[in-house]
Amino acid sequence: MAQQHLDPTDPLAGRVTGDALADYLRAQATEFLRALRLHRETGGTAANGSGPQGPGSPGDPVDPARALRRAVRRISGSLHTFRPLLDADWSESMRPELAWLSGTLAMEHAYAARLERLLLALHRLSGAVFPAQPKGATVGAAQAGGSGPPSHPAAPDRGNLTVGAAKAGALLERQLTLARTRAHSTALQALGSSRFHAVADNIAVLASEVPLVPTGAATDLHPHATAAQERLTDAVTALPLVTAGHPYNAEALIHGLSPDPAPHPQDTPWHQVRLLLRLHRYAREVIQGTNAPVDVRLLTAGQALDRHRDASEAAAAAAQAARTPRIAPATAYALGVLHADQRHEVEAARFAFQQSWQKQTVGTP
């Protein structure tokens, strides 16, 4: 067991070997199976990934969909980072399946969260006053009930909105609720498919028996974790952090009216860093154990990148909605303001990442 707490900056810290990886994978597989059982018991009502606490409540014990996604991401990430320690055939066959599952399970939650973000922004832009209660507790855009497709989200009151903002809100609600309903069905279908059962069977095996290569159990994990960290720091180095550190650099909106309908290519390296940061974090978990204290700065940087991704996708959804045929000019105007607002959120998130990264001394895992 490597669940003891190691000082990551201590070069004399004990070797952590493939045994720890096996422990970690077993624990994550067990988590997956537990979440799957709970998910089936609750009839998949929470497949949107959010309980009453709203989306993103960390460690929510009543959210099996979220727990499923968490476990799948961790297994998938560990297979990637510690690939040479694991049976190659098994590993290569598992990875695309885990990616498919992770992607499929994430969509419904993503649409619900995106709608909530956009409706909250519309209210903020309309100068509407919100009760000072925790986010998600008042706005139930992601509160699904019953066992069918998600119920109509309880959208914020539109009384204070202008016609344009109200119409923009209604349009986004229609489009994103439709997308979310489809994602819900897709996720339910996926969870009932033979493809899923094959993955679940594989994970069930993993819960008791991790297919390490013969030398795997004794192999030092550090070089692999360090390589994951280096991939992260290399990618961060390539980011335009000097610009990002200058507030109001107006970079994020620079293609806001570009003819290119594709998502902003400038966002891609940031999304990439977000994924590499996650892999680094999981590698730390493998080595330090899941009970080790979280590196707050790593967490802050990760949250900034999550916000970056969310705002980027929300901005794209607003731009996409503005391409709906026959909308009123006032609706289009509100969507333009909303798009720009979310692109500024993108810029703000980059600034927040730069600030947190500056302070950061990433511990050697």
Options 148, 269, 336, 363; binder of a second copy; rule CB under 8 A: 336
Min. distance of Cβ 164 from a second copy in angstroms? 7
Single residue of 80, 338, 353, 357 touching a second copy by CB under 8 A? 338
x-marked contacts with a second copy along 88-127 as a string, rule CB under 8 A: ----------------------------------x-xxxx
In this structure, is the dihedral angle defined by the CA atoms of residues 339, 119, 308 and 228, taken in order, positive or negative? negative
Burial of 329 (0-12, 13-18, 19+ CB in 10 A): exposed
Instruction: Check residue 328 for interaction with a second copy (CB under 8 A).
Output: yes
The yes or no reply on residue 268 touching a second copy (CB under 8 A) is no
Q: Is 333 in the site for a second copy (CB under 8 A)?
A: yes
Query: DSSP label at 85?
Result: G
- 239 lies in the site for a second copy, by CB under 8 A: no
- In the complex, the smallest distance separating the C-beta of residue 72 from a second copy, rounded to whole angstroms, is 33
| Site residues (CB under 8 A) for a second copy, limited to 121-180 | 122, 124-127, 160-162, 164-165
User: Per CB under 8 A, does 255 bind a second copy?
Assistant: yes
Q: In angstroms, give the least distance from the CB of 153 to a second copy.
A: 20
Nearest to 323 by CA among 118, 180, 183, 175: 175
Under the criterion CB under 8 A, does residue 335 sit at the interface with a second copy? yes
**CA-CA-CA-CA dihedral for 149, 155, 158, 163, to nearest 10:** -50
247 in contact with a second copy (CB under 8 A): yes
Name the DSSP letter for residue 212: B
Whether the Cβ atoms of residue 346 and residue 329 lie closer than 8 Å to each other: no
**Residue 220: strand pairing partners:** 17
Q: How far is the CB of 159 from a second copy (least distance, A)?
A: 11
Segment near a second copy (CB under 8 A), from 9-17, 67-75, 222-230, 244-252? 244-252
**Least Å distance between CB 125 and a second copy?**
4
| Count of helix runs (H) and strand runs (E) in the chain | 10, 2
Distance in Å from the first CA to the final CA of the chain: 16
Tell me the site size for a second copy, rule CB under 8 A. Answer: 42
DSSP, collapsed to helix, strand or coil, labels residue 364 as coil
Cβ neighbourhood burial of 23 (10 Å; 0-12, 13-18, 19+): middle
Residues near a second copy (CB under 8 A) are: 122, 124-127, 160-162, 164-165, 247-248, 250, 253-260, 322, 327-341, 344-345, 347-348, 351
